[in-house]
Amino acid sequence: MSRPSTLRQHSYPQPKRLQRTNSLLKYVQDVGQVTAATLLGIAMIGSSIAAGGLVGLAISFRNLPDVRILRNYVPTETSYIYDINGKLLYSLHDEANREVVDINRMSPHLKRAVLAIEDSYFYSHNGINPSSLGRALLANFAAGSTVEGGSTITMQLVKNLFLTPRRAFSRKLAEAVLALRLEQIFSKDEILEMYLNQVYWGHNNYGAETAAQSYFNKSAKDLTLPEAAMMAGLIQAPEDYSPFNHYQYTKERQLTVLNRMRQLGWITAQEESSAKTTPLVLGEVKSFRSSILPYVTEAAVKEMKQRFGNEAVLKGGMRVQTTVDLSLQRMAEEVVQAHHARIATTADQIALVAIDPRTHFVKAMVGGVDYQQSQYNRVLQAHRQPGSAFKPFVYYTAFASGRFTPASLIADTPVSYPDGYRYYTPKNYDGSFMGTIPIRTALELSRNVPAVKLGQAVGINQVIQVCRTLGIESPMQPVTSLPLGAVDLTPMEIAGAYATFASNGWYSAPTFIVQVTDSSGNLLLDNTPHPKLVLDPWATASLTDVLQGVVARGTGKSAQIDRPVAGKTGTTDSQRDVWFVGYVPQLAAAVWVGNDNYARLRAGATGGTYAAPIWRDFMQRALANVPVEGFKRPSDFIKP
For 278, phi and psi rounded to 5 degrees?
A: -75, 125
Whether 388 is catalytic is: yes
**Full 3-state SS string of 427-489:** CCCCCCCCEEEEHHHHHHCCCHHHHHHHHHHHCHHHHHHHHHHCCCCCCCCCCCCHHHCCCCE
CA separation (Å) from 637 to 401, 504, 632?
15, 11, 9
DSSP-derived pairing of the beta strands 513-517 and 523-526: antiparallel
Q: Is 118 one of the annotated active-site residues of the chain?
A: yes
Are β-strands 349-356 and 361-366 bridged in parallel, bridged antiparallel, or unpaired? antiparallel
Q: Which of 496, 490, 388 is nearest to 449 (CA)?
A: 388
**CA 570 to CA 586: how far, in whole Å?**
22
CA–CA gap between residue 101 and residue 264 (Å, rounded): 27
Contact 99, 210 (CB under 8 A): yes
Q: Quote the CA–CA distance of 228 and 113 in Å, as a whole number.
A: 6
Burial (CB count within 10 angstroms: exposed 0-12, middle 13-18, buried 19+), residue 625: exposed
Nearest to 203 by CA among 241, 233, 173, 250: 241
SS (H, E, C) 330-351: HHHHHHHHHHHHHHCCCCCEEE
Report how far residue 15's alpha carbon sits from residue 112's, in angstroms, rounded to the nearest whole number.
13
Mention every residue, 6+ apart, whose C-beta is less than 8 A from residue 254: 226, 229, 230, 233, 275, 276, 280
Separation CA 125–CA 115 (nearest Å): 13
Q: CB of 544 within 8 A of CB of 632?
A: yes
Based on the number of CB atoms within 10 Å of its own CB, is 381 exposed (0-12), middle (13-18) or buried (19 or more)?
A: middle
Q: Measured between alpha carbons, how far is 177 from 63 in angstroms, rounded to an integer?
A: 12
Residue 423 CB neighbour total at 10 angstroms? 11
Q: Exposure of 246 by Cβ count < 10 A (0-12 exposed, 13-18 middle, 19+ buried)?
A: middle
Q: Is 607 exposed, middle or buried (0-12, 13-18, 19+ CB in 10 A)?
A: buried
Triad 48, 50, 53: Cα angle to 5° = 55
| Beta carbons within 10 angstroms of residue 261's beta carbon | 26
Q: 79, 99, 107, 118: which is the annotated catalytic residue?
A: 118
**One-letter-per-residue 3-state SS of 561-593:** ECECCEEEEEECCCCCEEEEEEEECCEEEEEEE
In the set 132, 151, 291, 388, the catalytic residue is 388
**Would you list the DSSP string of 215-255?**
HHSS-GGG--HHHHHHHHHHTTSHHHH-TTT-HHHHHHHHH
Give me the helix-helix angle, 108-118 and 188-198, nearest 10°: 90
Instruction: List the helix and strand counts (H, then E) for the chain.
Output: 20, 20
d(CA 574, CA 429): 11
The rounded distance, in Å, linking the Cα atoms of 480 and 590 is 25
Distance between CA atoms of 507 and 494, rounded to whole angstroms? Answer: 13
List active site positions: 118, 388
